[in-house]
């Protein structure tokens, strides 16, 4: 059986419309089913949401589809094209997230033999065709929230690769080129970061490795920083940071080592039991 492949990469890597934020908490998935080699659409293909009761959506005459009302979390989809082996793929959705991305099928798969019909109730299950998912290499597991928010495009982001490529020397250097951010230096007290939309004298909150730390935040050494998120006003701040001083902006810093782990006190050794006294003769 010849392989069928999908290209489901982050929208930042394509000229295709970026990921958006849908209304409410339900997520959605839209795009076009096309042939990878030519870009020609595949009309009337069907996408089945296996993780949502098997409901299906049919693409239109130019291969476009739009699946709405998805619960946040991981969803498994199955592509059904007449005469082509069926294949599954998985996508994770954040709350209210809208993913706009093409689903591509290899030309070779269109000439592959179709799935044979079952011959008996106890027949073996038909093995699925291979599914290839291409995406940038993920960071460490503890940066999953950073990568999820990066896909939404709501804030501004600086990665370790950009820090090294542009040779930033301080956190303030990395923030100078971001829109809506002011870096004020003078008075011998160093440089201070403020947001252009913030009231006078209002400094942003700093969250370091998921903990609010406004004392150490502005002084974080650039060599310790793995990634930076910047939100210049309350309209940009994600819901998980709603409790912070959003009106003055928010700077989220991910360090290379993470927060210190709590140390456990060594257990006390059991008290020695004195030997029993021998009876006198």
Q: What is the mean pLDDT for each group of 10 consecutive residues in the chain (281 residues)?
A: 41 37 74 87 91 91 93 90 84 89 77 52 59 60 82 86 92 90 80 86 88 89 93 82 74 80 57 59 55
| Homologous superfamily in CATH for domain 11-110 | Immunoglobulins (2.60.40.10)
Q: How far apart are CA 36 and CA 83, in angstroms?
A: 17
Q: What one-character DSSP code corresponds to residue 212? A: E
- What pLDDT shows up at residue 12? 31
Q: What one-character DSSP code corresponds to residue 41? A: B
Q: CA 17 → CA 59, 94, 98, 101, distances in Å?
A: 18, 18, 11, 8
Kindly state the tokens that stand for 223.
Answer: 């060599």
What residue ranges do the domains of the chain occupy? Answer: 11-110, 141-255
Q: What one-character DSSP code corresponds to residue 120? A: S
Kindly state the tokens that stand for 55.
Answer: 């409901």
- Ramachandran region, residue 78 (left: φ > 0; alpha: ψ -120 to 50; beta: rest): beta
Give the chain's end-to-end CA distance (angstroms, integer): 92
H helices of 66-191, in order, are 107-110, 144-152, 160-166, 171-175
Q: How far apart are CA 254 and CA 195, in angstroms?
A: 20
HSE-CB for 109 with a 13 A CA cutoff: 26
- What pLDDT shows up at residue 281? 55
The CATH class for the domain spanning 141-255 reads mainly beta
């Amino acid at each position: 059986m010849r392989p069928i492949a999908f290209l489901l990469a982050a929208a930042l890597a394509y000229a295709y419309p970026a990921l958006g934020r849908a209304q409410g908490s339900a997520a959605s998935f839209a795009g076009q089913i096309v042939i990878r080699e030519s870009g020609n659409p595949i009309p009337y293909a069907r996408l089945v949401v296996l993780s949502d009761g098997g409901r299906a959506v049919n693409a239109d005459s130019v291969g476009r589809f739009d699946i709405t009302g998805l619960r946040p979390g991981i969803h498994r989809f199955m592509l059904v094209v007449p005469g082509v082996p069926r294949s599954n793929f998985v996508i994770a959705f954040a709350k209210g997230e809208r993913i706009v991305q093409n689903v591509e099928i290899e030309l070779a798969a269109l000439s592959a033999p179709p799935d044979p019909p079952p011959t008996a109730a106890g027949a073996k299950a038909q093995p699925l065709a291979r599914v290839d998912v291409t995406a940038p290499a993920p960071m460490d597991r503890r940066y999953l929230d950073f990568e999820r928010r990066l896909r939404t495009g709501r804030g501004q982001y600086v990665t370790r690769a950009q820090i090294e490529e542009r040779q930033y020397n301080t956190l303030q250097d990395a923030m100078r080129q971001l829109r809506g951010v002011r870096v004020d230096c003078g008075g011998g007290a160093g440089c201070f970061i403020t947001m252009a939309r913030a009231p006078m004298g209002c400094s942003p909150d700093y969250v370091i490795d998921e903990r609010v730390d406004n004392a150490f935040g502005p002084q974080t050494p650039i060599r310790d920083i793995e990634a930076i998120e910047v939100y210049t006003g309350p309209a940009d701040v994600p819901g998980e940071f709603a409790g912070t001083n959003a009106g003055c902006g928010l700077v989220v810093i991910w360090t290379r080592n993470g927060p210190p782990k709590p140390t456990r006190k060594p257990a006390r050794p059991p008290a020695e039991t004195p030997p029993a006294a021998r009876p006198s003769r």
